[in-house]
Amino acid sequence: MNAFSMIFLLALVLAAATRLWLDARHFNHVRRHHDAVPAEFAGTISLESHRRAADYTCAKIQLGAFSAAFEVLVVLALTFGGGLQWLRDIAAVAPAGVLRGLLLIVLVGLVMTLVELPFGLYRTFRIEERFGFNKMTPRLYWIDFAKGLALAAALGLPLAAAVLWLMEKMGEYWWLYAWVLWMVFNLFMLAVYPTWIAPLFNKFTPMDNPELKERIERLLARCGFKVAGLVVMDGSLRSSHGNAYFTGFGKTKRIVFFDTLLERLTPQEVEAVLAHELGHFKLRHVIKRIAWAFAVSFVFLWALGFVMDKPWFYAGLNVSTPSTAMALILFFIVVPNFTFMFQPLAAMYSRRHEFEADHYAAQNASATDLVSALTKLYKDNASTLTPDPLYSAFHDSHPPALARIGRLQHT
C-alpha cells in the first residue's frame, strides 16, 4: 500500500457510494410518483402504463445497483486481492513481449465477460421478459454472445497487439502514435459498421412504404440532406423497444429505422423523429462528439504514457511485475473511478444537443408530431416520466420527458 493506493481506494469508494446513493434516490422518487400520472401527460398516458414504467424503471435500478456493487468487489479482487498478478503469472506461459501481453489482456477480458454474463442474462430473460420487451430466445442470445466474442477477438486483438507493439518500440512518444492509430481505427469502424458489422446481427431491407418514403424524401430535400438509403432493421427480432438512427458517414450515410418504430408511429411522427436526427447532423453534434472523444482519448493516452513507467502505479495496485499490457489493463480499471465525477458535465452537454435537435425538428417538421411521437415512445418503452432530478443530471443523455415536451410545446 502506498499513497496512490489510498487515492485509488478513495476514488473507488466515492464513485461507488455516489452511484448507489443516486440509484436509491431515483428508486424512491419513482416509487413516490408511482400512483399519479404527471398532469401534463394525464390525457395521453394511462395510470396503468405509468405504473408499468415505474415498475420497469425500479427493476432496472435494482439490477444496476447490484451490478455496480459487484463490479467494485471484482476490481478489489483483481487489484488488492492479487487477481491480476495471478492472471499475469498464468500468461507467463507465453513468450515475453507482445504475445504475453495479449494473453494477459485476453484472460482479463474473459474474466470480465464472465462476471457480466449473469447480469446480462437476468436483464434479458427476467426484466425485459417480465415487461414483455424481450423477443430473444436463449438460442439467439448465445449465438449473439458467440458472435460478439468472435468480433471482439477479430477487431480487438489486432488493435491491442498494435498498441502493445507501439508501447514497446516507439519510445517516449508511443502514446502519440497510439492516439493516431486509435483515431484511424475509430473512423474505420464508423465507415464499415453499416456494411460489415451490423448485418452480422440484423437484416436490413430497403424501406417499402411509398407514402412514408415520399414524406421523408421531401423532408431531406427541405433540409438539404443527402443519404445513400432508407432502410428498415428487424429490431423486433430481439426486443420490442423502438428506435431510429444514422450510420456511416459522407456518401455512405444511411438512415435506419427499427421495424418496431415504424409499426407504431404515424408517417408524420416518423418524419418528426427523423427531423430531430437530422438536426444532430445539421447542427454538427455528431462531428463535435467525435472531436470530443478524440480530445479526451489524447489526454488519457498522455496520462497512460506518464504513469506507465512509474513503479508506484503498479505497486499501489498490488502488481509486482510491471509490463505494457499490465499498464493498459490497470489504466482501464482505474480511470472510470476518476471520470465518474465528470459524468454530469458530459450528460449536460448531450442534453443541450437534444434540446437543439428538438428545436431543429420543430422548425423543419412539426413540434406537435414530435410531442406525440415522444409520448408514444415513452409509453411503449416504459420510460419513467418522473426521474429523480439529481440522478437524471448524472445519467441522462436525454432531457427528462417533462422538460423536453414542455420546451417543444412552447416553440
**Pick 354 or 369: Cβ nearer Zn ion:** 354
Min dist. Cβ of residue 271 to Zn ion (A):
15
**Pick 272 or 357: Cβ nearer Zn ion:** 357
Using CB under 5 A as the criterion, what x/- string covers residues 303-342 for binding Zn ion? ----------------------------------------
Rounded Cα distance between 336 and 330, Å, is: 11
Site for Zn ion in 203-262 (CB under 5 A): none
- 8 A C-beta contact, residue 92 and residue 100: yes
CB atoms within 10 A of CB 47: 12
Query: Is 358 in the active site?
Result: yes
**Pick 51 or 282: Cβ nearer Zn ion:** 282
The residues facing 255 across adjacent strands are 230, 246
**CA proximity to 362, closest of 350, 353, 371, 375:** 371
CB atoms within 10 A of CB 120: 14
The residue from 358, 369, 380, 388 that is catalytic is: 358
**Pick 225 or 298: Cβ nearer Zn ion:** 225
**Pick 79 or 372: Cβ nearer Zn ion:** 372
Using CB under 5 A as the criterion, what x/- string covers residues 349-378 for binding Zn ion? -----x--x---------------------
Min dist. Cβ of residue 372 to Zn ion (A):
17
**Pick 337 or 375: Cβ nearer Zn ion:** 375
Min dist. Cβ of residue 190 to Zn ion (A):
18
**Pick 358 or 380: Cβ nearer Zn ion:** 358
**Pick 60 or 353: Cβ nearer Zn ion:** 353
| Candidate ranges 93-101, 185-193, 221-229, 346-354; the one touching Zn ion (CB under 5 A) | 346-354
Query: Is 277 in the active site?
Result: yes
| Candidate ranges 261-269, 304-312, 326-334, 348-356; the one touching Zn ion (CB under 5 A) | 348-356
Min dist. Cβ of residue 280 to Zn ion (A):
6
Min dist. Cβ of residue 276 to Zn ion (A):
6
Min dist. Cβ of residue 277 to Zn ion (A):
7
SS (H, E, C) the chain: CCHHHHHHHHHHHHHHHHHHHHHHHHHHHHHHCCCCCCHHHCCCCCHHHHHHHHHHHHHHHHHHHHHHHHHHHHHHHHCCCCHHHHHHHHHCCCCCCHHHHHHHHHHHHHHHHHHHHHHHHHHHHHHHHHCCCECCCHHHHHHHHHHHHHHHHHHHHHHHHHHHHHHHHCHHHHHHHHHHHHHHHHHHHHHHHHHHHHHHHCCEEECCCHHHHHHHHHHHHHHCCCCCEEEEECHHHCECCCCEEEECCHHHCEEEEEHHHHHHCCHHHHHHHHHHHHHHHHCCHHHHHHHHHHHHHHHHHHHHHHHCCCHHHHHHCCCCCCCHHHHHHHHHHHHHHHHHHHHHHHHHHHHHHHHHHHHHHHHHCCHHHHHHHHHHHHHHCCCCCCCCHHHHHHHCCCCCHHHHHHHHHCC
Amino acid at 28: N
Min dist. Cβ of residue 354 to Zn ion (A):
5
Interface with Zn ion: number of residues (CB under 5 A): 2
Min dist. Cβ of residue 185 to Zn ion (A):
26
The residue from 116, 129, 277, 396 that is catalytic is: 277
Catalytic residues: 277, 358
Kindly list the residues in this chain that would bind Zn ion in the complex (CB under 5 A). Answer: 354, 357
